[in-house]
Structure 1
């Protein structure tokens, strides 16, 4: 019985191998068939004793992956060979050197890339995040590594039913987190949709079955609806002389599930269960005109929704996708999406990257596509990135798996940026030095700050200043990987110059028989008007402060006498003396054991102001956040995450305005608001941002947002308000968002 099974399996293996060769035949050149046969025999030998979890021979898997590469992605011989061999190095004693000797360096490079990325990616696992980064590194050499990996992932998902439940969840989660978006970005829409559907099938099987059954039950009525919708426009298009194929494309189960979930509606209320696709057979030169001609015919018969027109033929998506989408009202009162594209566009939409290159080689279509620009961006990102693997994966997903924003330079050049990009992102996209000196921008002729978020079609003019330089806070103002990496590089350069400057200062002080104590450093910073020690050292490192200047500092320190005739004794007196000449600087918050000036954010849960007892908390994604010690979240943060808590204290109390809130209650009477605003605005000269008053049964409750300087200023204000007749209580309001 076992012998019969083995013979049957052998026949099935040969049958699958021959099917692969038949599919690949149109792509094969001289000698390719022999190379594929050699790879098949190598894989057969390597996996001869191995079986999959389903019990079938392991060779079925590489054969299926190779078939997906040919049939569903449109790849050629190199990818077929790589697919057949992709598990050989990992599963046997065969080395990459052996593969290179037998199949050449190109195949070996792809196998090496595929071998590095085996295993399951669990979010938070640095090892698998590192593997994913290694996989993307192959983009700079051969994108086929990722295409073969996607084919491998698709077959694994198709056969996931034989895996234990915990493995199903891990592999399905990894697929939806990274591989489905990656397929989407490479233009493989069909594969992306199937990966999403299979993820749903294994993570939420009941929901998947329910939607699949509902689609099946409505198929007959849907087909009838499609036929009646298509009939009039097909006739009109044919009369115009264009040759087209029109088909109804059902929406994927996953996209229907997403719509049901987001809109909180049942299946019966999802009207756009399908899209009509019109594919035009026309020459490359006539594609755009033909698409708009068909659009005109469709909208002659059906009323379009002007807000739902998507023109991706004038400017294609970053993954190379080109199509004209419109949504029209059918005669039955339902909205129907219509996609209009040429045969070439459809081929690229179905097979993505591989089809894009086929048309680039064969057609007079020399311009660089959005897909090539995207791959260039990936390469830049990989070359510039030095963050941890997990940070890299997060950055990669947020920058490269989302929709783009199209903006223009003053001369009309188009720039493509990630969704959410700011004026500062735009500046760095033009040139690093323009980004480094950016002080703001004009968007559509209006002045905007660095953090202004751009919209599609904005025309942006960057404003620069030679005095501007980046700081750590800029990293929070940008979303593009290019801008982030360039800012980090500039900050590194600044720190390097600061380190060199510190060496110079140490040498000079040694010559002057002085030691660089914290007191001396404070005096140097004050004397040269720097905001921080880092800035002082940077100025020295860059040569803006030379050794003669430091010598003059010593003369000033030793020879300067205050008005009362006493020499300056300490750093505080020295700073006071310098301040009389130079004026006070802005408020600083000193953080950490060394009390450095580090970038931070104020937490919104307690809104600290100068004078509050505070501590710093190192967050995962937002740097250091400053909390009051009386913050409602302080006990949990301090007790459970003590290792992430850092010291923080105010360096000075100066007249900077901080937004805070007050809650005020009392008995309502005529003139109450006037009395309150008089104390705030007239008596104490406090700038109010907003005031809200609610009255119920003669009792009022008010919320006031205002700008104060520090806790003493706030205490004075509260005391003055409490003195107003009929005011019961005034208290500080921590959660400012509740006052909105």
Structure 2
């Protein structure tokens, strides 16, 4: 068959919704691509041009505009034939050239790994989507045709393409509401990865369908009868279960094949929203609805714009799942964002809302992209957002927010705005104070309480689940860690320079640059940051900085060397890079030293701690510290109390701590016999004087025989 009738066949299909001028532009793009790909063949033995033509046909079924169809024809031209983008701009205009460039793969860049190549591709796609969402529609159609013709490919390539399809492209199609493309991609991907499983499930489905045909027809007949009796318009369709979804339910929900297939699924398509609710009443009068299985996605659409009424009925000894929706909702359910072009001439409220949702999602992707350190981190965040099983919660003003299942108030805060997430300190769920880590349920009203100057807690990363929250928290923590490492590094370097009788301000830029080059770092700030993180010693960097012009390091004199031992002041609230040792739990007033922990900053120990190094060389590396005055923060201290057993003695101990303004974090009765017991308690105090007050109060209890502070 020659290529002419094929493009003419497409032109005929396009004539149902495009005018002649635009069809001719699509034709021109076809001939241009045909010439460019002359002599190129596909693995199947077909001429290469059959692929762009097939991609354009898929888009024509979605009734996409002429520019998308032209881009489909030309989508491999830049990559495969060496024709530059400028030539396409000249021939077909800026818009089409931009679309083609957006869809072209990143083959020019050498990647370190396959995962990185996939991630970089996805990043480029995100940027292109932000400029024009049609890029992803052409890309999805391209992927769909490649999946349909995967057969002749080598096994490894088939596996890679199928995995990428299930990981990235099918979820994107789902996020854009394109159900028909999503399910076909999933089923093709599943069949490529697990051909035997797909064959087995497909065989079982066909066998079961044959034996159930009578029941299906009987239920359909009764539903039809009920609609006619009430004078309600509606066509009733049977719903197919897809291989991939059957497999996933068997695998993840641990259901047997017969459990899944014993549900009969129907879809009723009607004229208006009002009819949907009236049909719901009619089917509920025919069979009993199952409690808790009704979902109204018309009033509260899914994140991808999907709208429908879902109900499960029990009738004729089987479960019957029914979806009720209008024709327009059916279009949007199958074609998602692509339905926007179907209704372009007669814009409807539903498609504009759908468009707004997609815009919001793409904007979210762009924000994540800016915060991620590299493409692999970005794609990890995005994958989380591509598999949402949604819940719907309300803001105090009644706005609906869609979040993935399992989302917490912190995810909710970041979904509203990054600044609200960063400043969140507490929340109210249905007006009651609740934990920030508590998973939210659909229908709850969530209010976030913020405080100026508050910062994200690193512990949030262990429970947030949305990509936006995770990337925002990481971004703030990285920035904070950098600022803190610079501050701590500068303090330590200044102190070491003082030992050489030098000041940081007096050191020339040339000398700084020489030390930067010597240490092979990018900038002087990076060098200081490394000192703060504990990756370099301040003393050695100081020695390099004060080296004379011949490169000989000046020696610190005895007195000056003692200056290097001058203590650094700490207040105990230094943030991410100053941590207190859990072995000796130092508190203000204790003599303390700092140990640099490579990559993590400084750990503060009591100077009598048994974990400190014994050798002179090890001791020389310790940083001498002194406490700032007026510290109001609280610190943990462990106490061991020996006491005579009496009724209510634990309550007396707790009361004594409270009377001394202490706060108990943990209390434990360790071992006891009939007469004596040992109580271990961790209390919060703000210094040694406060601790002495707490211990005095406890010692005054008659039953207490001995009390001491525990240090390991």
| TM-score, normalisation: structure 1 | 0.68
Matched, 1:303 2:288: yes
* CA gap 1:576/1:388 in 2 versus in 1, 3 angstroms: closer
Q: Is the 8 A contact 1:318 1:371 kept in 2?
A: no
Greater Cα shift, 348-357 or 33-42: 348-357
Unaligned stretches of 5+ residues in structure 2? 506-527, 533-561, 574-579, 581-586, 613-620, 627-633, 639-644, 658-663, 671-678, 685-712
Matched, 1:32 2:16: no
Matched, 1:593 2:582: no
Aligned with residue 75 of structure 2, among 82, 86, 90: 86
* CA gap 1:239/1:100 in 2 versus in 1, 3 angstroms: same
Aligned residues: 573
Cα deviation, residue 108, structure 1:
0.4
Cα deviation, residue 249, structure 1:
1.3
Cα deviation, residue 294, structure 1:
0.7
Q: What does residue 64 of structure 1 align with?
A: 54
Q: What does residue 231 of structure 1 align with?
A: 221
Q: Distance in 2 between matches of 1:496 and 1:215?
A: 58
Q: What does residue 110 of structure 1 align with?
A: 99
Q: 1:669-708 maps to which residues of 2 (within 5 A)? A: 687=666
Q: Is the 8 A contact 2:126 2:365 kept in 1?
A: no
Secondary structure, counterpart of 1:206 in structure 2: helix
Q: What does residue 292 of structure 1 align with?
A: 277
Q: Is the 8 A contact 1:568 1:574 kept in 2?
A: no
Q: Is the 8 A contact 2:63 2:341 kept in 1?
A: no
| TM-score, normalisation: structure 2 | 0.70
Q: Is the 8 A contact 2:198 2:243 kept in 1?
A: yes
* CA gap 1:583/1:568 in 2 versus in 1, 3 angstroms: farther
Secondary structure, counterpart of 1:131 in structure 2: helix
Aligned with residue 253 of structure 1, among 243, 254, 258: 243
Per-residue CA distance 1:435-455 (angstroms, 9 max, x = gap): 333210111122123333222
Matched, 1:373 2:357: yes
Secondary structure, counterpart of 1:162 in structure 2: coil
Cα deviation, residue 92, structure 1:
0.7
Secondary structure, counterpart of 1:213 in structure 2: helix
Q: What does residue 317 of structure 1 align with?
A: 302
Q: Distance in 1 between matches of 2:107 and 2:239?
A: 34
Q: Distance in 1 between matches of 2:394 and 2:313?
A: 30
Q: What does residue 20 of structure 1 align with?
A: 10
Secondary structure, counterpart of 2:15 in structure 1: helix
Per-residue CA distance 1:558-609 (angstroms, 9 max, x = gap): xxxxxxxxx9996569779999xx9469x999763366159xxxxxxxxxxx
Secondary structure, counterpart of 2:349 in structure 1: coil
Per-residue CA distance 1:212-243 (angstroms, 9 max, x = gap): 12222233333322210021221221233322
Cα deviation, residue 375, structure 1:
3.1
Q: What does residue 698 of structure 2 align with?
A: none
Greater Cα shift, 256-265 or 271-280: 256-265
Q: Is the 8 A contact 1:32 1:77 kept in 2?
A: yes
Secondary structure, counterpart of 1:308 in structure 2: coil
Secondary structure, counterpart of 2:234 in structure 1: strand
Q: Distance in 2 between matches of 1:393 and 1:577?
A: 37
Aligned with residue 233 of structure 2, among 237, 243, 246: 243
Q: What does residue 343 of structure 1 align with?
A: 327
Q: What does residue 656 of structure 1 align with?
A: 636
Q: What does residue 425 of structure 2 align with?
A: 439
Q: Is the 8 A contact 1:439 1:449 kept in 2?
A: no
Q: Distance in 2 between matches of 1:227 and 1:507?
A: 83
Greater Cα shift, 336-345 or 185-194: 185-194
* CA gap 1:21/1:504 in 2 versus in 1, 3 angstroms: same
Q: What does residue 180 of structure 2 align with?
A: 190
Q: Is the 8 A contact 1:139 1:379 kept in 2?
A: no
* CA gap 1:296/1:253 in 2 versus in 1, 3 angstroms: same
Q: What does residue 318 of structure 2 align with?
A: 334
Q: Is the 8 A contact 2:406 2:439 kept in 1?
A: yes
Q: What does residue 547 of structure 2 align with?
A: none
Q: Distance in 1 between matches of 2:111 and 2:197?
A: 25
